[in-house]
Amino acid sequence: MPVTDFLERNARLYPDEVALVELNPDEKDTRRTTWKEYGLIQPDHFEAYRREITWSVFDEKANRFANMLMGRGIRKGDKVAILMYNCLEWLPIYFGVLKSGAIAVPFNFRYDAEEILYCTELAEVDMIVFGPAFIGRLEVNAERLSKGRLLIYVGDSCPSFAESYHELVADCSSHSPGVEITEEDFGAIYFSSGTTGFPKAILHKHRSLTQAAEMEQKHHATGREDTFLCIPPLYHTGAKFHWMGSLVAGSRAVLLKGTRPETILSAVSKERCTIVWLLVPWAQDILDALDRGELKLEDYELGQWRLMHIGAQPVPPSLIRRWKEYFPDHDYDTNYGLSESTGPGCVHLGMENIHKVGAIGIPGYRWECKIVDEAGQETAPGEVGELCVRGPGVMTCYYRNEEATAETIKDGWLYTGDMARQDEDGFYFLVDRKKDVIVSGGENIYPVQIEDFLRKFDKIKDAAVIGLPDRRLGEKTAAVIEIKEGMECSREEIEEFCMELPRYKRPKEIIFSEIPRNATGKIEKPRLRKMYGADCLVEKENMA
């Protein structure tokens, strides 16, 4: 069944129950109570912006948008892009696209004007739905973008080159458009991260979306009484499909804007959140704030919080050990995935396997995994090779890119480009991205292993290891180090700490700097390599 059936079921069974809450602690809303009355620790004069919708309203909004699309000529298989920050309109618009039979095409909100144009033309988009923050970026290419396609604006003061969403849907029917959708119909196009150039368009059928939703609910045992806190951007498969566990369960979710430690804990406290998905930097910030005494757990109601899980990047085991010191009763899970596998979960640790922290886990619900060498042969346990996955969430193809599709999908297996190994118990451990492996003096060096080691040092907040050109070795390792706030650290201290590593793994360069990460928490290593190339490699002074 398509995921739209879950929405219609929830609207029928739980019409008056809250489905979604939008919470923005940094935005004033004179219609709402003050921060103090709201129960959050902030000055009395500042007011929290909060909206909510029930399952019946959610479904009605999706139906209105679907009927509007069809009234404007959008047909089954057409493509509708969504370019908005997280808000209460995002998911009803997404589901409206699906209900119309069209293909939803979420855009990364960090795209610049040229990337928006490129992705629009690559995916052959027929309509772009966008929010206020993106007026300028669309206006740059408005003439080309509006040629043969519709531009729909969600917000006040509609720009002249677009039409108003609110005016268009106001008189549309709130009843289901009645378009027959099967799991074999195309449902969505997502985009690769684009870290090696412009992104590739990833085409998925509806079966991928349903698989991701059902898997998420099963992996985390999401029930009717749970409340999921969603912080990452909804354009990303991770955030959306983690939320879809709540869709399958018919339970409540909170869309939080803001990642400060006090913002997250306040939202968990007031909204009674039970499941929270964090990225590594946010979890790290919470722990650091607790260490410094800036946050006190007794100021918040957190007893209902049962699960903290992390994905989107390798998770340092030391971070989870620290987390359990503050939150000993929390279940923990990590999920591995990529947009080509409909987001997280094709490999997952499992809440019962915290003793294996450091592993990405075992095959997820309905998934298979294997590790292969350069010749495509399966490796023995303990040997490093490329991780491959197979299951109902594998993409159909890279849209309009047969060559890249053939390189990535072979005999139904998705070659992830990630290097991994499997232990004697069947658990998979991520070693590194294939393209990030450093070959120094003939030795393969996996940066993630060194990064995990460096993060054990109590003065280091974050670390990234990259390869830089070297005349003698071919490549040498460089460690970019971000020091914890309020601390000082020298190059000599780092070098002494690294004496525990084998000589060939010890960083040859130490750079003190902030670690750039994208919206989903991944380290932007191409950016680092560009910043610290051989011609511009200059050790920075301690930034602490």
Give Cβ neighbours of residue 37 (< 8 Å, ≥ 6 apart).
none
Distance CA 306, CA 103 (A): 35
Of 3.50.50.60, 1.10.375.10, 3.60.20.10, 3.40.50.12780, the CATH number of 3-299 is 3.40.50.12780
Mean pLDDT of 328-338: 93
DSSP H or E segment with residue 201: strand 201-205
Q: From CA 151, how far away is CA 131, in angstroms rounded?
A: 11
**Number of alpha carbons in the 13 Å side-chain half-sphere of residue 118:** 13
Distance CA 186, CA 101 (A): 8
So what's the architecture of 438-531 in CATH? 2-Layer Sandwich (3.30)
Q: Has residue 182 got a pLDDT over 70?
A: yes
Q: Sorting pLDDT into bands at 50, 70 and 90, what band is 61?
A: very high
Return the SS3 of 419. Answer: strand
Q: Which residues of 482-496 are buried (b: 16+ CB within 10 A; e: fewer)?
A: bbbeeeebebeebee
Is residue 538 pLDDT above 60, yes or no? no
Report the percent of the chain where pLDDT is more than 70: 90
Q: What average pLDDT is seen over the chain?
A: 89
- What residues does CATH 2.30.38.10 cover in the chain? 307-434
**Which has the higher per-residue pLDDT, 124 or 450?**
124
Kindly tell me the burial class for residue 406, based on how many C-beta atoms sit within 10 Å of its own C-beta (0-12, 13-18, 19 or more).
Answer: exposed
Please tell me the chain's helix, strand, coil percentages from 3-state DSSP, rounded to the nearest 5.
35, 25, 40
- Look at 521 and 307; give whichever has higher pLDDT: 307
Percent of the chain with pLDDT over 90: 69
pLDDT per position as a tens digit, 219-268: 999 999 999 999 999 998 888 999 999 999 999 999 999 999 999 999 99
Q: Does the structure show a pLDDT above 50 at 455?
A: yes
Question: How many helices, marked H, and strands, marked E, lie in the chain?
Answer: 17, 27
pLDDT of residue 528: 85
> What does DSSP say about strands 18-24 and 49-54: parallel, antiparallel, or unpaired?
antiparallel
Confidence band, pLDDT 50/70/90 cuts, at residue 298: very high
Instruction: Give the mean model confidence (pLDDT) for residues 28-38.
Output: 42
State the pLDDT at residue 527. 82
CB atoms within 10 A of CB 250: 20
Query: Is pLDDT above 70 for 39?
Result: no
What is the C-alpha radius of gyration for the chain, rounded to an integer number of angstroms? Answer: 24
Q: Which residue has the tokens 């998911």?
A: 91
- Mean per-residue pLDDT for 197-201? 82
CATH domain 307-434 topology: Luciferase; domain 3 (2.30.38)
Q: What is the average pLDDT across 72-84?
A: 97
Average pLDDT of the segment spanning 415-429: 92
Task: Grade residue 497 by pLDDT with cuts at 50, 70 and 90.
Answer: very high
Residue 32 has pLDDT above 60, yes or no: no
pLDDT tens profile 473-494: 668 889 999 999 889 999 999 9
Q: Which two tokens stand for residue 188?
A: 């969505």
Answer yes or no: are the C-beta atoms of 229 and 273 closer than 8 Å: yes
Q: How is residue 44 written in tokens?
A: 């009395």
In 3D space, the residue among 450, 476, 475 whose CA is nearest the CA of residue 463 turns out to be: 450
Measure the CA–CA gap between 135 and 117, rounded to whole angstroms: 13
Boundaries of CATH 3.40.50.12780 in the chain?
A: 3-299
Q: Which residue has the higher pLDDT, 322 or 536?
A: 322
Q: How confident is the model at residue 28 (pLDDT cuts 50, 70, 90)?
A: low
What pLDDT does 226 receive? 98
Q: Over 70: is that where the pLDDT of 150 sits?
A: yes
Cβ burial, residue 274 (10 Å; 0-12/13-18/19+): buried
Q: Name the residue with higher pLDDT: 128 or 535.
A: 128
pLDDT of residue 41 exceeding 50, the answer is no
Task: Render pLDDT for 84-136 as a digit per residue (tens, 0 to 9).
Answer: 999 999 999 999 999 999 999 999 998 889 989 999 999 999 999 999 999 99
List Cβ neighbours of 29 (8 Å cut-off, separation of 6 or more).
47, 48, 49, 50
Measured between alpha carbons, how far is 264 from 285 in angstroms, rounded to an integer?
Answer: 11
- Residue 444: predicted pLDDT: 73
pLDDT in tens, 352-407: 999 998 899 999 999 999 999 989 999 999 998 999 999 999 999 999 999 999 99
pLDDT for 524: 80
As given in the structure block, the two tokens for residue 35 are 């921060």
Better pLDDT: 137 or 110? 137
Handedness of CA 30, 31, 37, 41 (dihedral sign): negative
What DSSP state is assigned to residue 265? H
Residue 9 pLDDT > 60: yes
pLDDT, mean of residues 419-432? 90
- Where in the chain is CATH 3.30.300.30? 438-531
